[in-house]
């Protein structure tokens, strides 16, 4: 299973693909003194603006899934 972590920094969208929970945590920002999480992941019930330029500061979208490559199919019948 893969995770895709989408962040925006200085107007630049960044998408990282990682394969473990630990790797996801490494991509998130923490306050070194307090250990508090600075990154703000979207909640599953939260509406997500499709334009990351309008996300709040430190907003992060984490998607769990796999990239699937479609397999070719044979055409049995062709319409004229």
Q: What is the pLDDT of residues 42-66, one digit of tens each?
A: 988 889 888 888 888 889 999 999 8
Structural domain contains residue 48: yes
Structural domain contains residue 77: no
Q: Can you give the residue range of the structural domain that contains 48?
A: 2-65
Structural domain contains residue 29: yes
Q: How many domains does the chain have?
A: 1
Q: Give pLDDT, residue 26.
A: 92
Residue that is written with structure tokens 């330029």 in the block = 53
Task: Select from 5, 6, 17 the least CA-distant residue to 55.
Answer: 6
pLDDT, average across residues 29-36: 90
Structural domain contains residue 59: yes
Q: What number of other Cβ atoms are within 10 A of residue 60's Cβ?
A: 19
């Amino acid at each position: 299973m893969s995770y895709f972590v989408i962040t925006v920094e200085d107007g630049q969208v960044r998408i990282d693909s990682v394969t473990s929970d630990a790797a996801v945590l490494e991509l998130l920002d923490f306050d070194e003194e307090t250990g508090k999480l600075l990154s703000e992941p979207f909640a599953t019930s939260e509406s997500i603006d499709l334009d990351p330029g309008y996300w709040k500061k430190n907003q992060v979208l984490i998607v769990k899934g796999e990239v699937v490559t479609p397999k070719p199919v044979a055409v049995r019948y062709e319409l004229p």
